[in-house]
Chain A
Amino acid sequence: MAQSGYGEIRLFNDFTGEEVQVAANMEHASATGGLWNIGKGFTIKGQNLDQTDAGAAAVEDGLNGQVILTSSATAGGDACFVTTETCFKPSVNAPMAVEARVELAALTARRVFVGFSGTVADAQSTIVSGSTATLTLTESNCVGFLFDSGLTTDVEWHYVHNGGTTTGVTDSTALNSGVAPVATYMDVLRVEVDNNGTARWFINGVLKKTLAGAVSATAVFAGCAGVVSTTTTVGSVTLDYIAVEANRDWTI
């Protein structure tokens, strides 16, 4: 097919203004209009978004533009994700990348995921979680970074994956990045997926891991970043930016 000049897809939100006010009081699925749209190709989804303690708020005086995603304290598993639709398939849209610059206000009572997931439902809860040194790969297709305060063996960013020809690893000690998030310090997390399902994980610009067959080449993914409550306490993560890159499927 004759291709135009719009083949490269680059979604980027610097969070300089658009926000979804806390107390939006409406679940994504039942929202009227574009209530949860946050601009630049992203929307907000998560479990218990209708609670007044959940939302996505711009950070006043947050340099470069920043947003805080806050998950509700109603129950463990409440979540708040900034996400695309599931619309990127490695076999036709790769190379695909998600990059986000994130910081945690504290390392307690939260799990943070940054990467691709084959499902990001309107009321999405946990994508991947961990306890002590064991991961639970809730979603059957995922690749990205996980911090979970429950992974007490190593307080680190973990490289998680599931759905590819390489079986998803559930021993978190085999997925350690060696990089510990530091409260109130930013980390740049980037994961890339090739058309054959090979994935690469970068932290702060350094290639840390390459894995063949990390994901299914024919699964369809959304790029996302989000926080999940682990108890009846709000979870939060601050994002400086999120970028999702891919290429167009020109199949007619």
Chain B
Amino acid sequence: MTMVQSGYGKIRAFNDFTAEEVNTAPTTVDHASATGALWNIGGGFTIKGYNLSDDKTLIESVEDGLNGQVTLTTSDAADGDAIYCTTETCFKPSVNAPMVLETRLEMAALTARQVFAGFSGTIADAQSDICSGSTGTLTLAESNICGFLYDVGLTEAVNWYMVYNGGTTTGNTDASDVASGVTPVVGQMDVLRVVIDNNGTARWYINGALLQTVEGAVAPTAVFGGCVGAIATSAASATVTVDYIAVEANRDWTI
């Protein structure tokens, strides 16, 4: 049975981070145990991550950050502490595609941090690594992934890596195969965009240039959240500054 569709079929979650912030020291409350809308940041996004309850963890709007910017900061308690700005896992390629995650971000340094931007099949309240890297090898921690990774541990090349897992094409753990050739530069913004089709094909863009297309990159029937986040790689806080995040998809009109 076909449903009569309204004009609300296009989904566009967007946050320009012009004001909404979660103030420092949110009184040691993890996402799962927060009361009220404590970690909501508006625009269809919330904050999750490992050790959010640590008072070093924060999400702050950047004063004089043009267009509105936010800095995500992880705890400095341990490797794996994380902070993500994320949607719920609510987008399935087979019914919601084309799905897009785009973000504009910069790092204050390239040391002691991972940054992930893209889709993940799991973004738990206390989410830690989605994927990580060491020397020239990726560890695909989550079984359904599609996005960009920067990891200071990937010493074979200082690059954005175009990672994926869960599709008919086996997730590639050789980092050199998925290196973008684009080196993040301290204090300079990059626009990262990943697009997933309804058959699981994915395309990665950096600063407007198409850099990789993989058929069967993800499972069309997996359900994803769109996110951007920073992950600590040691007992030091990791940060990433985000100008905007956009997640686009289409409605599943199935009745």
Q: What is the interface of chain A, defined by CB distance below 8 A to chain B? A: 1-4, 6, 9, 11, 28-35, 37, 39-43, 83-89, 92-93, 220, 222, 244, 246, 248-249, 251-252
User: What is the CA–CA distance of A232 and B180 in the complex, to the nearest angstrom?
Assistant: 62
The closest CB in chain B to the CB of A39 belongs to B42
Q: Are A33 and B22 in contact (CB under 8 A)?
A: yes
The residues of B that contact A248 with a CB separation of less than 8 Å are: 67, 243
A87 with B64, Cβ < 8 A, contacts A29-B23, A34-B21 known: yes
Q: Are A85 and B62 in contact (CB under 8 A)?
A: yes
A-B contact pairs, 26 of them (CB 8 A): A1-B191, A1-B207, A3-B208, A6-B14, A6-B244, A34-B21, A34-B40, A35-B23, A37-B20, A37-B21, A40-B43, A41-B20, A43-B20, A43-B21, A84-B68, A86-B64, A87-B18, A87-B66, A87-B67, A89-B66, A220-B64, A220-B66, A222-B19, A248-B243, A252-B185, A252-B190
Q: Are B62 and A41 in contact (CB under 8 A)?
A: no
User: What is the CA–CA distance of A242 and B23 in the complex, to the nearest angstrom?
Assistant: 23
User: What is the CA–CA distance of A68 and B188 in the complex, to the nearest angstrom?
Assistant: 41
Q: Are A41 and B208 in contact (CB under 8 A)?
A: no
Q: Are B69 and A87 in contact (CB under 8 A)?
A: yes
User: What is the CA–CA distance of A206 and B147 in the complex, to the nearest angstrom?
Assistant: 48
Which residues of B in the span 158-213 have a Cβ within 8 Å of any Cβ on A?
185, 188-191, 193, 207-209
A34 with B61, Cβ < 8 A, contacts A1-B207, A2-B208, A249-B67 known: no
Q: Are A87 and B41 in contact (CB under 8 A)?
A: no
User: What is the CA–CA distance of A251 and B187 in the complex, to the nearest angstrom?
Assistant: 11
Q: Are A92 and B29 in contact (CB under 8 A)?
A: no
Q: Are B29 and A42 in contact (CB under 8 A)?
A: no
When A and B form their complex, which 7 residue pairs have the shortest distance between CB atoms, in order from nearest? A2-B208, A33-B38, A41-B18, A37-B20, A249-B66, A43-B19, A84-B18
Q: Are A32 and B67 in contact (CB under 8 A)?
A: no
The residues of B that contact A86 with a CB separation of less than 8 Å are: 63-64
Q: Does B27 contact A (CB under 8 A)?
A: yes
The residues of B that contact A244 with a CB separation of less than 8 Å are: 18
The residues of B that contact A85 with a CB separation of less than 8 Å are: 17-19, 21, 61-63, 65, 68
Q: Are A34 and B38 in contact (CB under 8 A)?
A: yes
Q: How many A-B contacts if CB must be within 8 Å?
A: 125
Q: Does B36 contact A (CB under 8 A)?
A: yes
Which residues of B in the span 1-54 have a Cβ within 8 Å of any Cβ on A?
14-23, 25-27, 29, 34, 36-43
User: What is the CA–CA distance of A251 and B106 in the complex, to the nearest angstrom?
Assistant: 12
Q: Are A9 and B23 in contact (CB under 8 A)?
A: no
Q: Are A9 and B18 in contact (CB under 8 A)?
A: yes
User: What is the CA–CA distance of A165 and B95 in the complex, to the nearest angstrom?
Assistant: 56
Q: Are A2 and B38 in contact (CB under 8 A)?
A: no
Q: Are B246 and A9 in contact (CB under 8 A)?
A: no
Q: Are B19 and A4 in contact (CB under 8 A)?
A: no
The closest CB in chain A to the CB of B246 belongs to A6
User: What is the CA–CA distance of A106 and B193 in the complex, to the nearest angstrom?
Assistant: 51
The residues of B that contact A83 with a CB separation of less than 8 Å are: 19
The residues of A that contact B188 with a CB separation of less than 8 Å are: 252
The residues of A that contact B208 with a CB separation of less than 8 Å are: 1-4
A246 with B27, Cβ < 8 A, contacts A33-B39, A39-B20, A41-B16 known: no
Q: Are B42 and A37 in contact (CB under 8 A)?
A: yes
User: What is the CA–CA distance of A28 and B64 in the complex, to the nearest angstrom?
Assistant: 18
The residue in B18, B21, B22, B68 that gathers the most chain A C-beta atoms within 10 A of its C-beta is B18
Q: Are A92 and B66 in contact (CB under 8 A)?
A: yes
User: What is the CA–CA distance of A42 and B43 in the complex, to the nearest angstrom?
Assistant: 11
The residues of A that contact B14 with a CB separation of less than 8 Å are: 6
Q: Are A37 and B26 in contact (CB under 8 A)?
A: no
Q: Are B26 and A87 in contact (CB under 8 A)?
A: no
Q: Are B42 and A41 in contact (CB under 8 A)?
A: yes
User: What is the CA–CA distance of A249 and B65 in the complex, to the nearest angstrom?
Assistant: 10
The residues of B that contact A31 with a CB separation of less than 8 Å are: 23
User: What is the CA–CA distance of A149 and B189 in the complex, to the nearest angstrom?
Assistant: 46
Q: Does B129 contact A (CB under 8 A)?
A: no
The residues of A that contact B36 with a CB separation of less than 8 Å are: 33
The closest CB in chain B to the CB of A42 belongs to B19
Q: Mark B230-255, 1 if CB is under 8 A from A, else 0.
A: 00000000000001101000000000
Minimum CB–CB distance for B27 against chain A, Å: 5
The closest CB in chain B to the CB of A89 belongs to B66
The residue in A40, A87, A244 that gathers the most chain B C-beta atoms within 10 A of its C-beta is A87
User: What is the CA–CA distance of A142 and B184 in the complex, to the nearest angstrom?
Assistant: 37
Q: Are B41 and A34 in contact (CB under 8 A)?
A: yes
Q: Are B102 and A34 in contact (CB under 8 A)?
A: no
